[in-house]
Amino acid sequence: MVNPIPESVKRVWDNWNIRGIILFSLFLQTILILFAPFRKSTANRLMIMLIWSAYLLADWAANFAVGLIGDTHRDNQASKPEKSDLLAFWAPFLLLHLGGPDTITAFALEDNELWIRHFFGFVFQAIAAVYIFLLSLPGNKLFIPTILTFAAGLIKYFERTCALYFASLDRFRDSMLQEPDPGLNYVKIMEEYASWIEAKIPTKIFMLPEPTRKPIFNDTDNQTKVVEFDDLDVVHRACYFSKIFKGLLVDIIFSFRERDESRHFFYGRKPEEAYRIIEVELNLFYETFYTKVEVIRSAAGYIMRFLSFGSVVVALSFFHLNVEKHGFDNFDVRVTYILIFGAICLDTIALFMLVFSDRTFAALKKTEHESKSSGRKKPGMATALGWFFALKRPRWRACPHKPDWKPLSLGLWSFIFDELKKKSVYEIDTVTARRISLTRGDWIFEADSENVCNENFKSVRNDLKPYIAENAFDKSLLLWHIATELLYNTDEAVDNDKEFSRLLSDYMLYLLITQSGLMSAVAGIGKIRFRDTCAEAKRFFKSKNVTSDKNIKDACDEILSVNTFAEPAEVKGDRSKSLLFEATMLAKQLKKLDQKSKWKLISKMWVELSSYAASHCDARSHAQQLSKGGELITFVWLLMSHFGLGKQFQINNDQGRATLIVGK
């Protein structure tokens, strides 16, 4: 029988299988450490595919290489002892690779829940490496460098396992919970109270007010001297708030004290300052769930990192001193040097990323505040590192992910910021907070809203109400999107509210149709409605001979010219979910408003729809989106939380502690 695999191919495989797989594993580690950080700033599919492929192949390559080394080691133990020693030295480098780079531990949130699997993988791969090492004894000429590299590999693999464990949702939720508070000793107070009453001594229970907590930041200067709000200030404040609000990702309930502190701070910020703070906060959230930052930024983490890096450097020295004495194969020696220097370079890159990370800047800013309070000079290191902030690329590009990738403009963000800020003024207690979080446009009709003062608006108010709060969210979104498109393309006036409305309209439709995971809580049958509407639009344009090369304005005019005396559902029934002509009726109602009132109302409505979607999307969906380039709706979600908008603030202010007043 003819062998299907030629002998030449077998020889190439036998000579290159281990070398090739190990070098390929090192290449994958390089790809991950350099490109994984781009996940948080791009939704480019090619980039995501590259990182995903490298992430999956990295573990496979390292595990496969360990198996190959184990099989080959037994064959070479007697015939080629020098080769056997090098194979034993290579095995710990695969543990280093299995530990992965600092820039990515999990590709998706679900990977963190598999920390137990990684722990068992850590144990079994360590056993495999020890087994390979024991096979090389007692005559292993690279005994010391192998031991040192093995220690470094164990540390790196253990770091990754710990990072996955700390980022698992149950462990993360437990870490966010405060110490249990049983309150005052009720039994003891009642016993004392009863004893004084029995003694016929006047006694009453008096509530001592809770002492006011001093604000963590003194913002008086920053409100009057905006120039002092530099990049280090941004990071310092973002780190403080991220420690509190990362609990949002696991549905932690906050007190009104925390709400008031955050709201007071953000009330005094400009929109661009708030954006920069939220940007850093989201970056810190990302690092917590997808990188090793929670492990390495601790006393134990620094010690482990020093030992790991030092072990590899010392192993390099020992290998260099021994390599000339024992006649190792020259090519294998070169491969070994590549592995050693590759490990050192990867750790050096990780060190630079650690030094120039947001948390380092925040720590330096904290040191600066302590120095100022003690009368010392500002640390020169903080000033020097502050200069590097201007060189750092934006962490997030909060933009509507449309085909043309229009970035988020300051004007649009300022508009959203101001609208949410106005809305937050009305939230004064838990009942009001819950009501506001459930609104989907109702707030526009509040008695104290600026629109109500407009007589032109009052005339169509009742006609517009059914299109705002009486429909499912997905239906409302599509109705207002179509109406916005019809009015935008038939209105030649230039208006900021008009442009904001168009941008938010397109963005929300994009989320509804293409981001089903993020919008699953509010999407309903949005895709069915969208498809049916598109089908009816195509049929209508075909019947009117409206071709693709015709002016968009003319096409919109054709739709608006249709008589809509009766509701479409009364004529067509409920079988088709098309909203084309129901949206046309909405557009005609909006056309009754004057230019300014019309676009002001529409733009406010889109902020309402986007904030409703942001607050009702699952928090884990927001966390998942951080690894896919980020979304504007996630910025809106976090901004709403900082303004105290939402259902997560349900613990009222502490009324104080009880004490007994005797003899009065």
pLDDT digits (tens, 9 = 90+) for 438-490: 777 777 766 445 554 466 666 677 788 788 777 888 999 999 999 999 999 99
Mean of the per-residue pLDDT values for the chain? 82
The amino acid occupying position 334 is: R
**Cα(132)–Cα(124) distance, integer angstroms:** 12
267 compared with 6, residue with greater pLDDT: 267
What average pLDDT score do residues 40-48 get? 87
The per-residue pLDDT for range 212-260, each reduced to its tens digit, is: 555 545 544 444 344 456 778 888 899 999 999 999 998 888 877 888 8
- Give the pLDDT of residue 623: 92
Torsion angle in degrees (nearest 10) through CA of 381, 382, 384, 387: 160
What average pLDDT score do residues 637-661 get? 75
Token pair for 318: 């020992």
Residue 405's pLDDT band (boundaries 50, 70, 90)? Answer: low
Considering only the C-alpha atoms of the chain, give the largest distance between any 2 of them, rounded to a whole number of Å.
111
CB 274 within 8 A of CB 352: no
The per-residue pLDDT for range 164-218, each reduced to its tens digit, is: 999 999 999 988 887 777 777 778 878 887 887 887 777 777 676 655 555 545 5
**Cα(111)–Cα(120) distance, integer angstroms:** 15
**Cα(166)–Cα(620) distance, integer angstroms:** 16
φ, ψ for residue 95 (rounded to 5)? Answer: -65, -40
- Give the pLDDT of residue 365: 65
Q: Which long-range contacts (CB under 8 A, 24 or more apart) does 43-48 make?
A: 43/401, 43/628, 43/629, 44/629, 48/628
CB 521 within 8 A of CB 633: no
The answer, yes or no, to whether residue 326 has pLDDT greater than 90, is: no
pTM for the whole structure? 0.86
- Give the pLDDT of residue 428: 62
What average pLDDT score do residues 116-144 get? 89
The mean-pLDDT minimum among 16-20, 247-251, 356-360, 538-542 falls in 356-360
Most confident of 124-138, 338-352, 355-369, 380-394: 338-352
Residue 393's pLDDT band (boundaries 50, 70, 90)? Answer: very low
Token pair for 295: 């492990």
What average pLDDT score do residues 584-602 get? 91
What average pLDDT score do residues 266-292 get? 93
**Cα(204)–Cα(661) distance, integer angstroms:** 5
149 contacts: CB under 8 Å, gap ≥ 6: 89, 92, 93, 96, 311, 312, 315
- Give the pLDDT of residue 372: 52
Residue 102's pLDDT band (boundaries 50, 70, 90)? Answer: very high
Cis-peptide, bond into residue 211, ω within 30° of zero: no
Query: What is the residue whose two structure tokens read 């059914």?
Result: 466
The answer, yes or no, to whether residue 343 has pLDDT greater than 60, is: yes
**Half-sphere exposure (Cβ direction) of 587: Cα atoms closer than 13 Å:** 27
> Which of 453, 427, 450, 429 is CA-nearest to residue 439?
427
The answer, yes or no, to whether residue 307 has pLDDT greater than 70, is: yes
CB 200 within 8 A of CB 246: no
Element (H, E) at 621: helix 619-625
The answer, yes or no, to whether residue 62 has pLDDT greater than 90, is: yes
Angle at 630 between CA 625 and CA 632, to 5 degrees: 115
Listing DSSP states for 434-487 in one string gives HHHHH-SSGGGG-TTSGGGG-HHHHHHHHHHGGGTTSS-HHHHHHHHHHHHHHH
The answer, yes or no, to whether residue 114 has pLDDT greater than 70, is: yes
β-pair partners for 651: 255
Give percent of the chain above pLDDT 90: 46
**Cα(79)–Cα(90) distance, integer angstroms:** 19
**Cα(590)–Cα(279) distance, integer angstroms:** 36
**Cα(296)–Cα(291) distance, integer angstroms:** 10
CB 360 within 8 A of CB 367: no
424 compared with 160, residue with greater pLDDT: 160
The answer, yes or no, to whether residue 414 has pLDDT greater than 90, is: yes
